[in-house]
């Protein structure tokens, strides 16, 4: 892949919330996880974990926890990506909270892009009640859910959402 292929790959991804009901197979899931394994992490501690959810009832509960977002129920699989604070804080103390959030966010980005590489669609979902998700997925206290990544098959939208001009983000030398 050259750099223009890489740009085209990134530009072709969009969030998809309508899934066509086709399943995501085990090979796809193994591929997506193997990509996430390559993600960088603070001190290489990999302070992230993921709960893979296929169960219809659990997805329905997660959709409720995500304030009724229907794509959580419609997706054949949800990757509930979590930060593992014990892993990062055991070495980095308070700073490990930030590193744990960053590790999980990067891992989720890799999962999302790996799904796209597999011609699967996804929607990163961050709006949910943490405590409800914790209870539904039986997460221990040191595990914080970061994202419910809904993955399935479907059509990409005809138009991608507009972005800010890159100049609005970039500062040179100092702010
Ligand atoms: C941290 C984060 C939280 C998000 N939460 C939600 C969400 O709760 N529900 C949703 O439908 N989309 C959610 N999204 C998806 C964004 O709406 C989407 O990425 C953004 O509008 C840009 O569109 P694109 O992904 O198609 O490029 C979230 C994305 C991120 C990165």
DSSP 73-128: HHSSEEEEEEEEHHHHHHHHTTHHHHHHHHHHHHHHHHHHHHHHHTT-EEEEE--S
Across the strands, what pairs with 53? 78
Global pTM exceeds 0.75: yes
Ligand 1 test: best mutation among 125, 144, 152, most atoms within 8 Å of CB?
125
The protein residue with its alpha carbon nearest to ligand 1, atom 22, reads 161
Ligand 1 test: best mutation among 11, 14, 15, most atoms within 8 Å of CB?
15
Residues touching ligand 1 (Cβ under 6 Å) are 14-15, 17, 69, 123-127, 160-161
Give CA separation, 152 vs 41, 59, 83, in Å. 27, 13, 23
Give CA separation, 76 vs 13, 121, 162, in Å. 19, 11, 28
Across the strands, what pairs with 122? 15, 151
Give the torsion sign (CA, 61, 67, 73, 78): negative
The protein residue with its alpha carbon nearest to ligand 1, atom 31, reads 124
Give the pLDDT of the chain (175 residues) as one tens digit per residue.
899 999 999 999 999 999 998 999 999 999 999 999 999 999 999 999 999 999 999 999 999 999 999 999 999 999 999 999 999 999 999 999 999 999 999 999 999 999 999 999 999 999 999 999 999 999 999 999 999 999 999 999 999 999 999 999 999 999 9
């Amino acid at each position: 892949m050259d750099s223009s292929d890489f740009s085209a790959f990134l530009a072709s991804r969009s969030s998809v919330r309508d899934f066509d009901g086709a399943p995501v197979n085990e090979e796809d899931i193994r591929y997506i996880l193997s990509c996430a394994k390559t993600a960088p992490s603070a001190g290489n501690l990999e302070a992230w974990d993921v709960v893979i959810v296929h169960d219809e009832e659990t997805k329905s509960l997660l959709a409720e926890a995500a304030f009724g977002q229907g794509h959580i129920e419609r997706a054949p699989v949800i990757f509930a990506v979590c930060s593992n604070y014990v892993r990062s804080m055991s070495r980095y103390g308070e700073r490990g909270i930030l590193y744990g959030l960053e590790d999980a966010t990067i891992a989720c980005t890799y999962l999302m892009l790996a799904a796209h590489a597999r011609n699967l669609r996804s929607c990163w979902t961050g709006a949910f009640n943490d405590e409800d998700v914790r209870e539904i997925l039986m997460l221990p206290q040191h595990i914080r859910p970061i994202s419910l990544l809904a993955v399935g098959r479907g059509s990409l939208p005809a138009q991608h959402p507009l972005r800010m001009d890159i100049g609005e983000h970039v500062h040179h030398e100092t702010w």
